[in-house]
Structure 1
Amino acid sequence: MEIRLFPIFLWIAFVASNQEHDGSEEIRDELSPELAIEEANEPRFFAAVIDAGSTGTRLHLFEFRHAVEGATEPFELLREVKPGLSSFADNPAGAASSVEILLSHAMTVIPKRLVPHTPIILQATAGLRLLSKEEADSILVHVKQTVEASGLLLGDEAVGILSGREEGVFAWFTLNFLTGRLSFIEEDAEDRTAVALDLGGGSTQITFNQQVSSDGDEDSHHVSIFGREFQLYSHSYLGNGLIAARLSIASLLGEEDSTLLETHCLPHGVTIEDWKYAGKTFQVHPSEEASFEKCLEQANHFVENITTVKKIEKLNSFPIFAFSYFYDRGVQVGMVRTEPKTRGGWVQAKQFKIAAEQACNMKAEEVGEEHWKPWLCMDLTYIYSLLSTGYGISDEKNIHLTKKMRDMEVSWALGAGFHLLNSYHKEHFENFKSRNNSSNIFNEVVSYISTKATNVLVFLNLIS
């Protein structure tokens, strides 16, 4: 797979900063004219990404703005509705209605004149991957009709199911972009990129720059970003998300397809009634032998013998950032602080083990009413097992748990938003170029943007 994140969408800001070019007015008038209808001294444009996850559907609305006086960072608006689209397997019209709530909110933010020029994608992840093809297709048909009716700019394949590989690569881009680790361009520059670990409800992804090509390896992907080539390793494990793993681990002691589950991973005296997942309702009870040690045995058995997660010893030599449920559970047990601005912090892998032991030893009266608290023993034990037994990360390895950076969420959405804008604007550039083959000014400027992308990004304060 090759993804090219060519920064053409930064064109307006570039023109605003290069008024001395004799041909700048000609280019300003021709390139992306739909987006230039805003006031000349404050170009702005939007991109909408809807992440249809297994537990909820989230709108990421990105606004990019540049004024003559200076640039501002992109702004991200978040809005979420629950449950996820996969919960509407028997009611696809209900899935469309949940998406309509998000679209209505977006319309209160996007200026009316920019609506038809705002590209949008809606991509479902593990939740819909776990449904049958007929169920998933029915949901997507209804949802696409709703998105089309919004008037936003919708491509032919803009509504669909995101592959686990794309989810991993886009999340890796988002992480390394927001941390400034993509700010080097020279071919001999030292690689400072980090490993991205994403733990969703239905699947988990691991992505990092392995620097050398692995011929024949289906997990190896060539990516071109800002003029630099990367050889990424990216793998998505469907069924290894936190919520999916709950069901698999809790089912190890009982009969197949039973909705009455017994597990070593609940504190004594704690039961979970009417837990709904994958279209079924379960009752979950602790076993007589319930303890952290027995729970870890179950989690390790699941990771080692039932799933295909494999060790990657070289991970211990890379900086590692983990987000989504990795961050959520870490925050909930006090491993990192939520302030300032949910930036998270560094922890050692073994801290998940320590927190799991404490959670498994909780008394029933200590559990509380929060919906996630009864699951803490299992969740934390599974996370530790995934990191250590699964990926081979040492107990002492430092991992940065994070949720937001620069007020933007670390997820695949920002990477997809950049790719979306890139594709949209590249089409306009190529159309203009085909009509103006003799324009040396145009070719000169496009070449400049391509080879000096980092300078433009620094100008926009997108990279620190």
Structure 2
Amino acid sequence: MPESQEGIKQNKRRKHFICLIAVLCLVGVVVLVAVGVMQSTSMQRNMKFGIVLDAGSSHTALYIYQWPAEKMNNTGLVEQLTSCNVKGPGISSYWRNVEQAGPSLRACLDKAKQSIPKEQHGETPVYLGATAGMRLLRLQNPAQSEKLLQAVETFISSYPFDFRGARIISGADEGAFGWITINYLMGNFGTVSAGGDPDTLGALDLGGASTQVTFIPNNVVKSPEDSKFFRLYGRSYHMYTHSFLCYGKDQAMKMLLQSLVVTDNGTISSPCFNDGYEKLINVSAFYDSPCTPDPPRTTHETVKLIGTGSSKECRSHVSQLLNHSSCNCSTCSFNGVCQPPIWGKFGAFSAFYYVMDFFSKHGPLKNLDQVQAAVERFCNMAWQEAKHMYNMKEKYLSENCFSGHYILMLLTEGYNFTGSNWNSIQFLKKIKGSDAGWTLGYMLNLTNMIPAELPYTETLMNEASFLSIMVIFSLCVLILLLLAFLVMKRKLCGVEQGATLGTA
């Protein structure tokens, strides 16, 4: 009888011990899971937001950015939350109807209100940067451009955000902010290439009214007006940047069409439009910009544009847009503008991306020869065949022959890329979910969110601490499981021994 009572006591002790081990194992597993979850999501709790409106020549786009509030001055993770394309033309097109410019932004600003928590509206900065379209309007009519900006500011100020003004940014700033954006998103700041040079991408931007080229040259920039200096994450960057006003895709096409001869019956023929394409154009549209200041060459109010679809002739016409008659430096781009030799890798975005994406629809284009062949095939295609083959708006489809030759001329005869370094260009739309362009760099600069040193790690703890905790608790759980196994094994052995004695 005493032996039976002792066995009962031992069983109770074993049960209590096993229960204790089970509880400790559960606690260990919970800690492991909790630390892992907190480590991966710790910086997602409290977000800050910023809004930038890109008021371009052909359209306006609104971008909403977010970043962890805890890292306001040490951020390395500003990312694009969402974007909104404003319906209608760019704000510079409203210069005759200034009161309509602000309301054109309503739908996108309303979307911003819905996308950002209401309690954070008042602390969300909003910036509007106007680019080449407004730069042209300022040249043409300074008073009207100022009135237009004031009207837009008044409308945006009616929203509950922290509106910090609208301004026309210079071409050099547009190029520099685009360079900051793509290198920030690619994580290039603070890194160094094998040769000891800053490992950054040059930036190639093509809009409707201007184009920008920005890169770190391998020698000194001789023209001070084309030189920019930044110190980012503890490194100094001396860059070359130049903006060509009037050489955006839309304004370049206007210059091309203006140069064509109008016949007595009011028609113009262009090899840069597919054979069979026809369109009526108001003559005043040729001369509504400082880029096309010459007086009309015809008394007709409208002319009919007729496409003749010749790739070779189109290339010749487009080449004449770039003037190579003079250069006072060792190397130039075009129009007598000094440019250091192209060097390093580049990211090309905006219209560069969209045009190249069109010509890549039937397969990747691996080199310059393949790009030229794709453009030639499309230009020599009949208009009806082109409409049947491509499902897109006729306005954009009809311009692709010109656009293809224009970016080829701009990159090769303009910026001096060749077949040997063509593949150094990456055509970019988004980088890690954020649009490539100048807006993110603009916001980072104005919110003073580019620190001099590298950003903190966006985690609850550093990697060493995290790994130490995970290893220690994992070992504890394994030891507890081993103890439980030994106790259970000992109990089973005791049961088997008792059964054997009972049988005997």
**TM-score, normalization by structure 1:** 0.74
Distance 1:269 1:327, change over 3 A: same
Shift of 1:414: 0.9
Letter in 2 for 1:138: K
Q: Where does residue 432 of structure 1 map in the other structure?
A: none
1:303-328, Cα deviation, whole Å (9 max, x unpaired): 1269627575621x311211111110
Q: Where does residue 305 of structure 2 map in the other structure?
A: 285
Is 2:137 aligned against 1:134? no
Is 2:302 aligned against 1:295? no
Distance 1:319 1:370, change over 3 A: same
CA distance in 2, matches of 1:137, 1:240: 24
CA distance in 2, matches of 1:457, 1:217: 39
Q: Where does residue 78 of structure 1 map in the other structure?
A: 83
Q: Where does residue 234 of structure 1 map in the other structure?
A: 241
- 2:313 aligned counterpart, secondary structure: helix
Q: Where does residue 28 of structure 1 map in the other structure?
A: none
Shift of 1:117: 1.2
Shift of 1:272: 2.7
Letter in 1 for 2:379: C
2:105 pairs with 86, 99, 111, which one? Answer: 99
Is 2:401 aligned against 1:377? yes
Is 2:207 aligned against 1:180? no
1:401-440, Cα deviation, whole Å (9 max, x unpaired): 11001110000011112113227xx9xxxxxxxxxxxxxx
Letter in 2 for 1:387: L
CA distance in 1, matches of 2:369, 2:224: 31
Q: Where does residue 11 of structure 1 map in the other structure?
A: none
Contact 2:279 2:305 in 1 (8 A): yes
CA distance in 2, matches of 1:459, 1:217: 45
Q: Where does residue 152 of structure 2 map in the other structure?
A: 143
| Max Rg structure | 2
Shift of 1:143: 0.2
Q: Structure 2 stretches of 5 or more lacking a match?
A: 1-41, 290-300, 326-333, 388-392, 463-504
Is 2:84 aligned against 1:57? no
Distance 1:215 1:243, change over 3 A: closer
Residues 414-429 of structure 1 mapped to structure 2, 5 A cutoff: 414-422=440-448
- 1:180 aligned counterpart, secondary structure: coil
Q: Where does residue 365 of structure 1 map in the other structure?
A: 384
- 1:130 aligned counterpart, secondary structure: helix
CA distance in 2, matches of 1:270, 1:407: 38
Q: Where does residue 329 of structure 1 map in the other structure?
A: 355
Contact 2:126 2:161 in 1 (8 A): yes
1:321-367, Cα deviation, whole Å (9 max, x unpaired): 11111110111122698xxxxxxx88434443222211210112123
Distance 1:348 1:309, change over 3 A: farther
Shift of 1:153: 1.6
Richer in helix (by share): 2
Shift of 1:458: 9.0
- 2:341 aligned counterpart, secondary structure: helix
**TM-score, normalization by structure 2:** 0.68
Shift of 1:109: 1.7
Contact 2:276 2:307 in 1 (8 A): no
Which deviates the most, 210-219 or 306-315? 306-315
Residues 171-320 of structure 1 mapped to structure 2, 5 A cutoff: 171-184=178-191, 189-210=196-217, 212-214=219-221, 216-254=223-261, 261-274=268-281, 283=303, 285-286=305-306, 291-304=310-323, 308=335, 310=337, 312=339, 314-315=341-342, 317-320=343-346
Shift of 1:391: 1.1
Shift of 1:230: 0.5
Shift of 1:83: 1.4
1:46-82, Cα deviation, whole Å (9 max, x unpaired): 11100001111111110113689xx976342100112
CA distance in 2, matches of 1:321, 1:415: 15
CA distance in 1, matches of 2:318, 2:459: 45
- 1:147 aligned counterpart, secondary structure: helix
Letter in 2 for 1:319: K
Contact 2:62 2:85 in 1 (8 A): yes
Letter in 1 for 2:313: K
Contact 1:220 1:231 in 2 (8 A): yes
Contact 1:265 1:286 in 2 (8 A): no
Distance 1:97 1:190, change over 3 A: same
Contact 1:51 1:57 in 2 (8 A): yes
Letter in 1 for 2:146: D
Distance 1:168 1:282, change over 3 A: farther
Aligned residues: 384
Contact 2:129 2:166 in 1 (8 A): yes
